[in-house]
Chains A and B, each alone.
Chain A
Amino acid sequence: MNMTLRSIVLIFATTLTSISAILAQEDLLSLLGEDEETVDYAFASFKTNRVINLHSLENTSAGVLDIKISHRFGMVNTGFYELFGLDAASIRIGGDYGLTENMMIGIGRSSFEKTYDGYVKYRLLRQSSGAKVMPITLSYFTSIAVTGTRWPNPARENYFSSRLFYTHQLIVGRKFSEAFSLQLSPTLVHRNLVETEQEAHDVFSLGMGTRLKLTKRMALNLEYIYVFPDQLEPGYRNSLSIGLDIETGGHVFQLHFTNSTSMIEKGFITETTGDWGGGGVHFGFNVSRVFTIRRPNIKD
């Protein structure tokens, strides 16, 4: 009797323990409850901070220096004698630097009109999902350009201010999916001196840029800038560019065809003369190489 009871109790006890063990065979991590939701910022909407000529939604990261060598060959319609433009070249050497996660600055020197330029780009809103939802990225861009060519008419009184050009631009856009990003860039270019009275000092335009990711390391970019009518002399055209971004580790190569010669806002928006229909396009490339200047504080 005593033996049976004892064994019953024993069996009972073992069963209970094993039941509790079975119950405990649940997902251990689920015992901690739901994960705290984090803010997921959209990243890599474009491969670099430029679509082709236009500034993209992307900023250079804080503490990172991005050296950019940009090149536009001559126009393709110059024919075999000029090796379809490859004999001529226009170049901009520049550097972009991320001061903070949201603010970047840059300078550059273009051979076209021997122009120096400097800019500030500030990200006001950043697309995100998760704990904080923001459907778009919005940045403000402003630049100043100083042309360096000798005065065409040295006899008259020339002012330094006549060399100055200012640009104000909003960049608004969204990375819709891993493959597709789209942005609009309403822009105002102010020119202190224009050639004729008919030309506007303030030129309003609307830029559009898009990216279609083809593979993990290649993307197709397209940009078009519509200049509102009756601001420029006849003969000036809207800038249209199509390009391929190829990324290899620390470099991004942007290869493209564009009807703009200049690589800065006041140039490619208000001084584009190339005609796509007549082969008035340049083959060109931007090479970007990043260097980490200031290391981020990595929390351990």
Chain B
Amino acid sequence: MKTIIISGIFILIGSISTVEAQKYFTREAQVSFFSEAPMEKIEAHNGTGTCVVDFSQQRMEFAVLIKAFQFEKALMQEHFNENYMESHKFPKATFKGQIIEPENIEMKPEAQDVQVKGTMTIHGVEREITAPGKILFTGDKVSVSSTFVVAVKDYEIEIPAVVRENIAKEVEITVEANLEPLK
């Protein structure tokens, strides 16, 4: 009887501690986007995304500061903030979601394809999205990456007629993050 209780407690403690060890984070997630329209290619990078993943619950959250996106053309960056993303009103874009595939992710040192489903918030507009991604565990680190496409109009970002040839209706977003254990 005693042994059962003791072992039960050990299992409990053990499971709690593994829960603790399964949270990973970074403040230097690379987020970039790419738009290819007939007249112009637009590219911007942001190296200050924050990300926390809890593998015990297969949950993940991303946040990125809109003002921190850097463009090659200064005026483009200004217009991106002022006219399109309205970063003074909506300073951040976020994603909160769940790893839905595989159902129980193994922390093994080889690249695994995953599907993530959750709520993307851009320009103050929330959308349910599903995106493919890759996860790789190496030592005590985890790298996650994903490339997906969003439609600009889904997030109520207006593109005026005069620049329709310069800005694509769909934008490709790439996320790459190297996570460390969260203590």
Contact = CB atoms under 8 A, between A and B. Distances in A.
A144 interface: no
Interface string A197-235: 000000000000000000011000000000000000000
A9 B162 contact: no
Interface of B: 1, 4-5, 8, 11-12, 15-16, 19, 23, 25, 27, 30, 45, 47, 50, 52-54, 56-57, 59-61, 63, 65, 67-68, 70-75, 78-79, 81-83, 88, 94, 96, 160, 162-163, 166, 182
A172 interface: no
A248 B162 contact: yes
B25 A32 contact: yes
Contacts of B4: 5-6, 9
A250 to B, nearest CB: 6
For the complex of A and B, 4 pairs with smallest distance between CB atoms: A61-B74, A28-B52, A28-B61, A9-B8
A195 interface: no
Given A44-B78, A299-B47, A20 B16 contact: yes
Q: Is the interface of B mostly helix, strand, loop or mixed?
A: mixed
A12 B11 CA distance: 12
Contacts of B25: 31-32
A64 B75 contact: yes
B5 A9 contact: yes
Given A13-B8, A64-B75, 18 more contacts: A9-B4, A16-B12, A21-B56, A21-B57, A28-B59, A29-B52, A29-B94, A38-B65, A44-B82, A61-B75, A248-B162, A249-B163, A290-B74, A295-B72, A298-B71, A300-B30, A300-B45, A300-B47
A248 B12 contact: no
Contact of A250 (B15, B65, B75, B96): B75
B31 to A, nearest CB: 11
Interface in A1-53: 2, 5-6, 9-10, 12-13, 16-17, 20-21, 24-25, 27-29, 31-32, 35, 38, 40, 43-44
A292 interface: yes
A239 to B, nearest CB: 28
Contact of A29 (B5, B61, B162): B61
Contact of B78 (A10, A12, A27, A43): A43
A28 B60 contact: yes
B155 to A, nearest CB: 16
B33 to A, nearest CB: 13
Nearest to A48: B75
A155 B88 CA distance: 64
B50 A296 contact: no
Contacts of B56: 21, 24
A123 B82 CA distance: 22
Given A2-B1, A296-B74, A28 B81 contact: no
Given A43-B81, A217-B83, A290-B75, A298 B61 contact: no
A40 to B, nearest CB: 7
20 contacts: A5-B5, A13-B8, A17-B12, A21-B56, A24-B54, A28-B96, A29-B50, A31-B23, A31-B25, A35-B50, A44-B78, A44-B82, A61-B75, A63-B74, A248-B163, A290-B73, A290-B74, A290-B75, A295-B72, A296-B74
Contacts of A16: 12
A178 interface: yes
Contacts of A295: 72
A175 B83 CA distance: 16
A61 B74 CA distance: 6
Nearest to B67: A40
